[in-house]
Amino acid sequence: MPYRRPSSPRRLAPTLAVLGLASAAALLGLTGQGAAAPAPAAERAATVLADRCLSCHNAEKKAGGIDLSTRAAFTAAKLGAAKADDSRLVKAVVSGKMPPTGKLPAAEIAALKAWVAADAPYAREPLRALLPSERPLWSLEPIRRVTPRKTRFDRLARNTVDRFVFAGLEQKGLSPSAPAGKRELLRRVSYDLTGLPPTPEEMAAFLADRSPEAYEKVVERLLASPAYGERWAQHWLDVVRYGDSHGYEQNHLRANAWPYRDYVIRALNQDTPYDRFIHEQLAADVVAKGDPRREVATGFLVAGVHDTVGNSTEEGKRQQRANDLDDIVSATAETFLGLTVGCAKCHDHKFDPIPQVDYYRLAAVFAGVRHGERPLPETAEDRERRVQADGVRQELRAVLGGLLDLQDEGRAALLRQRGAEVGRPPTSPRHNTERFAPVRARFVRFTVTATRDGMEPCLDELEVFGPDLPGNLALASRGGKAAASSLYPNAAIHQIHHLNDGKYGNDWSWISSERGKGWAQIELKEPARIDRVAWARDSSTGRRLTDRCPTGYRVEVSEDGASWKTVATGDDRAQEAERQPELEVKALGPEQARVRSELLARQEELEDRLESFSPRMAYVGSFGEPDPIYLLKRGDVMQRGDEVGPGPLSCVSVGDDAPAAAPQSEPQRRLEFARWLTDRRNPLTARVMVNRIWHHHFGRGLVATPSDFGHNGEKPTHPELLDWLATELMNGGWKLKRLHKMLVTTYTYRQSSAANPRAEAIDAGNQYLWRMPLRRLDAEALRDSVLAASGKLDRKMGGPGFRLFKYNVVNVAIYEDLEEHGPETWRRSVYHQRARGIRDDLLGSFDCPESSQKNPRRVSTTTALQALSLLNGPFLTQQAGFLAERLRKEAGASESAQVARAFQIVFGRAPSAEESKSAVALARQHGLDTLCRGLLNANEFLYY
């Protein structure tokens, strides 16, 4: 069902609506509500005065002695005149003297003139200045597609994009630069599209290809390369605050976050239309249901920080939930809309037209989303693996059982060697059997009197066997009933009925609520002869916990549940503390030792196999009944106001009024919101995305603040171009590769980056693109390029990431520097685990951001610590050695051939005679490794 219309038009409605501007209508969602009624001169002028003049010329400030808030003050200041052109006010605006921020648009000057000519009637008094959030916001105006005007550079244009850029240049008195050389161009486009340098062979082929479409062919090749998805996924992951740890207090690694990262890479490589990309990230559980490769897209929602510790107080619980929702709301709004909706949590947005209630409408959209893992839909392949896993698990149980027996045998052997009494071994968390003479019983009770650690005892299964019938008689599936003295509270995985459910392990166990004691009981379906009871704390093949293991116990049986007989106790068991595991192993006979080592090897093998079979879980959120959402006064979770239903932002209207809808079901809320985002009439979504792509190709967005299209962000340098590209994106079926191709094949993109002092004097920041900027590789591209040069880059795609830290958990996670960069780290950097709050020396010093924050734009700094990590750091030193090895292999023993090859690999060109000479000299004196270290530190390598 479509969204409910915003309920209360804001107080500004009359003021702005009468301007008759599209912006005013869009701002207030008034399209089609009669906003176009002709405005009398007084209304039009009031709007201009409020917007442009009254922040200074009001009754308090009275700047220059002039107050425009009332008719009386206006008259007193003698601003009017019989002839409008003689009016002080009209003169000031016509000359551009006022307002000081720049001359008014002609339409507004005309409005003021007409008003003065009509003897300055006041529509209402006093007039007041617009609040920043009441000002029309450019990004909310409908997208307009216009044709660029003609310029004298048009013959250079490769496509329409150039003509918009040229129009900007011409207006500023600038000219485009000459085209870049082929080498420069190939490095540029390779880095921009794939984040990797061209290989010497690719460079040679491009230089040799003299056909007019040589460059287009390269662009096609790069866009088709899997490296394209890896490169652009990294940009996207920055924007959406993707991280591989939870952050906050414990900051444990989030082991299964990566399926979302892989989804982004795949979606980009497959050129998933951007509207679908959005729908999947917000509601893949609906729109891609059953497709495990796409369902993980909802990882977007829960990619942020999450408090895993929690808090027991009501306030703490509410705050924790509010923090999660705040993260989702802010990330969604900034990513797709470029609006900082998060600023409206405590009060109406101070700068943008976002009332506080809108924030909570968005929170309600996501009120059913919770952090956590979700099992992925099973594919046919998965089903097969599951069946195989059951077999492996069975064998593993047998192997573990065998090892347990050997442990007891070793203990007995050791004690015998010492002449001590062997007795019964200590209880094992893994498996224990109590044997006794056959006895007729219906009830079997296991009473714990002590545990190893004094904690509440745990049993994962209580099994009963007899001589007359095969198998475990206690199973619920055979009519057995479980009972217990007590139950550990609030833990779904610990239940009384888990005692006889036939499932092993902590997740299907019972724990009492009493420290060191408690009893569990099985009532058989009918009385039977029994002679054996088996029990364990955790006999699974998985984690195998050892805490809470009973050490003191008795087993009692009864036929009628009234008179009991003790058939076994733990009184004769030795204590775990008396064991000497190492000596016990040594006490084993040669045959036993051989069996033991075989079993251990088999155990390892089976466990590895099991791990590869483990059910596929992904940290992509879980969905349930939405929480009721209340407007929180000042954002305080303890000050609830009215309940708020789901809905979009009131400042963006995409259609006609619809009847009020009932609160929508959970997935429907998200889906509806996604549809609103991708409605062609939403002016933000396409603009924001084309700007992100522009940003990464040209080093700066048409809007320099890619996630802030509000008043606090930057204004577009080329608004018409931005709109034209937005319509191109939508008209082209939201396909991103088409847009990339359009941008990188422009003349503008293919310009040289050479300096031009004259142009610099006009536009030092190159906002108008009179040249292409020279850019430093970002942290990941730098690291990947080093690996590409050394020949060690492992192009394996997807799957769990690698670590650039040592990881340890002592309640909280502890991250330490990595000393050895082994082959597992030689993959592309997009696959490194982005642990929050942690920065790798190399990546961090080169401005790789910390993933606790959304990072729509990276800064590029130059520091001494960068130089140190690149000159002396273990990674670069190691890779320089590999590059040297590669040179010897590929270029043979000739020093000059090695140097020539090195220059081709690292710089994409041959060395000059002089360079060759000094490089050979360095290598000869200090080794090829040292030369390679030097080349990989060169500006020519780092800049493109």
Partner 1 sequence: MKHHDPRPLTHDRWLDRRQFLGDIGTGLGSIALACMLAEEAAAGPAKLDDPLAPRSSHFPAKAKRVVQILCPGAVSHLDTFEYKPELEKRHGMPMSGEKIVTFQGGNGNLMKSPWGFRQHGQSGKHVSNLFPHLAQCVDDIAFVHSLTAKSNTHGPAMLQINTGFILEGFPSMGAWVTYGLGTETQNLPAFVAIPDVRGNPPNGPANWNSGFLPAAFQGTSFNTEKPIANLKPPSGSTAKEEGDLRSFLANLNAAHLRRHPGHSDLSARIGAYELAARMQLSAPEVTDLAKESGATLKLYGADSENPLKAAYAKNCILARRLLERGVRFVQVYCGGPASQVDGLLNWDAHKTLKADYERHAPIMDQPTAALLLDLKHRGMLKDTLLLWCTEFGRMPTHQTGSEGRDHNPEGFTCWMAGAGVKGGTSYGATDELGYKAAQDVSTIYDFHATVLHLLGMDHTRLTYYHNGTQRRLTDVHGHVIKPVLA
Q: Which positions from 688 through 727 interact with partner 1, judged by CB under 8 A?
A: 699-700, 704-705, 707-708, 710, 712-714
Q: Which two tokens stand for residue 623?
A: 């969905």
**Are the C-beta atoms of 550 and 537 separated by less than 8 Å?**
yes
If you count them, how many residues does the chain have? 944
Strands (E) in 825-866, as ranges, are none
Rg, Å, the chain Cα set: 36
Binds partner 1 by CB under 8 A, chosen from 854, 883, 905, 908: 854
Using alpha carbons, select from 651, 762, 852, 845 the residue that is nearest to residue 138: 651
> Scanning the structure block, which residue is given the tokens 């009754």?
59
Q: Which helix (H) or strand (E) holds 258?
A: helix 258-269
Q: Which two tokens stand for residue 502?
A: 């036939």
Dist CA 452 CA 432 (whole Å): 15
**Are the C-beta atoms of 834 and 243 separated by less than 8 Å?**
yes
**CB-wise, 522 or 651, nearer to partner 1?**
651
**Footprint of partner 1 on residues 818-837 (CB under 8 A)?**
836-837
Binds partner 1 by CB under 8 A, chosen from 211, 490, 563, 862: 862
Tell me which stretch binds partner 1 (CB under 8 A): 10-18, 553-561, 670-678, 762-770: 762-770
Dist CA 798 CA 269 (whole Å): 13
Tell me which stretch binds partner 1 (CB under 8 A): 15-23, 60-68, 244-252, 884-892: 244-252
**Are the C-beta atoms of 134 and 17 separated by less than 8 Å?**
no
Dist CA 371 CA 343 (whole Å): 23
**Are the C-beta atoms of 241 and 254 separated by less than 8 Å?**
no
Determine, following the binding rule CB under 8 A, whether residue 933 of this chain makes contact with partner 1: yes
Tell me which stretch binds partner 1 (CB under 8 A): 444-452, 559-567, 584-592, 840-848: 840-848
Q: Which two tokens stand for residue 242?
A: 């993707």
Determine, following the binding rule CB under 8 A, whether residue 248 of this chain makes contact with partner 1: yes
Distance of CA 543 to the CA centre of its chain: 29
Tell me which stretch binds partner 1 (CB under 8 A): 81-89, 249-257, 634-642, 722-730: 249-257
Secondary structure (3-state) at 886: helix
Determine, following the binding rule CB under 8 A, whether residue 250 of this chain makes contact with partner 1: yes
Determine, following the binding rule CB under 8 A, whether residue 915 of this chain makes contact with partner 1: yes
Determine, following the binding rule CB under 8 A, whether residue 913 of this chain makes contact with partner 1: no
**CB-wise, 236 or 508, nearer to partner 1?**
236
Determine, following the binding rule CB under 8 A, whether residue 919 of this chain makes contact with partner 1: yes
Whole-number minimum distance, CB 455 to partner 1, in Å?
14
Determine, following the binding rule CB under 8 A, whether residue 638 of this chain makes contact with partner 1: no
Binds partner 1 by CB under 8 A, chosen from 561, 872, 888, 894: 872
Whole-number minimum distance, CB 769 to partner 1, in Å?
12
Whole-number minimum distance, CB 944 to partner 1, in Å?
11
φ, ψ for residue 906, nearest 5 deg:
-85, -40
Tell me which stretch binds partner 1 (CB under 8 A): 4-12, 56-64, 94-102, 756-764: 756-764
Determine, following the binding rule CB under 8 A, whether residue 869 of this chain makes contact with partner 1: yes
Ramachandran quadrant class, 96 (left: phi over 0; alpha: psi -120 to 50; beta: rest): left
Determine, following the binding rule CB under 8 A, whether residue 814 of this chain makes contact with partner 1: yes
**CB-wise, 616 or 711, nearer to partner 1?**
711
Neighbour tally for 920: CB within 10 Å = 18
Binds partner 1 by CB under 8 A, chosen from 86, 125, 249, 636: 249
Dist CA 575 CA 552 (whole Å): 10
The HSE-up count of residue 218 (CA atoms within 13 Å, CB side) is: 31
Binds partner 1 by CB under 8 A, chosen from 19, 849, 898, 944: 849
Determine, following the binding rule CB under 8 A, whether residue 309 of this chain makes contact with partner 1: yes
**Are the C-beta atoms of 517 and 449 separated by less than 8 Å?**
yes
Determine, following the binding rule CB under 8 A, whether residue 334 of this chain makes contact with partner 1: yes
Q: Which two tokens stand for residue 224?
A: 């088709």
Whole-number minimum distance, CB 942 to partner 1, in Å?
7
**Are the C-beta atoms of 748 and 176 separated by less than 8 Å?**
yes
Whole-number minimum distance, CB 820 to partner 1, in Å?
14
Dist CA 933 CA 876 (whole Å): 7
Binds partner 1 by CB under 8 A, chosen from 387, 398, 867, 897: 867
Binds partner 1 by CB under 8 A, chosen from 208, 419, 811, 893: 811
> Scanning the structure block, which residue is given the tokens 């007989």?
565
**Footprint of partner 1 on residues 335-374 (CB under 8 A)?**
339-340, 342-343
**Are the C-beta atoms of 689 and 728 separated by less than 8 Å?**
no
Q: Which amino acid is at 747?
A: Y
Secondary structure (3-state) at 58: coil
Distance of CA 652 to the CA centre of its chain: 26
Determine, following the binding rule CB under 8 A, whether residue 940 of this chain makes contact with partner 1: yes
Determine, following the binding rule CB under 8 A, whether residue 930 of this chain makes contact with partner 1: yes
Using alpha carbons, select from 847, 783, 736, 585 the residue that is nearest to residue 233: 736
**Footprint of partner 1 on residues 47-66 (CB under 8 A)?**
none
Tell me which stretch binds partner 1 (CB under 8 A): 389-397, 505-513, 675-683, 867-875: 867-875
Size of the site for partner 1 (CB under 8 A): 92
Determine, following the binding rule CB under 8 A, whether residue 753 of this chain makes contact with partner 1: yes
**Footprint of partner 1 on residues 517-536 (CB under 8 A)?**
none
Whole-number minimum distance, CB 77 to partner 1, in Å?
34
Q: Supply angle C-alpha 901, 906, 912, rounded to 5.
A: 60
Whole-number minimum distance, CB 916 to partner 1, in Å?
12
Using alpha carbons, select from 904, 939, 899 the residue that is nearest to residue 923: 899
Tell me which stretch binds partner 1 (CB under 8 A): 99-107, 143-151, 269-277, 814-822: 814-822
Whole-number minimum distance, CB 841 to partner 1, in Å?
5
**CB-wise, 425 or 710, nearer to partner 1?**
710
**CB-wise, 541 or 833, nearer to partner 1?**
833
Dist CA 190 CA 21 (whole Å): 44
Determine, following the binding rule CB under 8 A, whether residue 72 of this chain makes contact with partner 1: no
**CB-wise, 118 or 868, nearer to partner 1?**
868
Determine, following the binding rule CB under 8 A, whether residue 810 of this chain makes contact with partner 1: yes
Determine, following the binding rule CB under 8 A, whether residue 154 of this chain makes contact with partner 1: no
Tell me which stretch binds partner 1 (CB under 8 A): 394-402, 488-496, 571-579, 861-869: 861-869
Using alpha carbons, select from 448, 542, 525, 526 the residue that is nearest to residue 486: 448
Tell me which stretch binds partner 1 (CB under 8 A): 199-207, 333-341, 467-475, 654-662: 333-341
Whole-number minimum distance, CB 862 to partner 1, in Å?
4
Distance of CA 429 to the CA centre of its chain: 40
**CB-wise, 580 or 861, nearer to partner 1?**
861
Whole-number minimum distance, CB 25 to partner 1, in Å?
24
Q: Is 673 exposed, middle or buried (0-12, 13-18, 19+ CB in 10 A)?
A: buried
Determine, following the binding rule CB under 8 A, whether residue 668 of this chain makes contact with partner 1: no
Burial profile 446-474: b = 16 or more Cβ within 10 angstroms, e = fewer:
bbbbebbeeebbbbbbbbbbbeeeeebbb
**Footprint of partner 1 on residues 587-626 (CB under 8 A)?**
none
Tell me which stretch binds partner 1 (CB under 8 A): 200-208, 388-396, 441-449, 750-758: 750-758
Whole-number minimum distance, CB 242 to partner 1, in Å?
13
The HSE-up count of residue 625 (CA atoms within 13 Å, CB side) is: 2
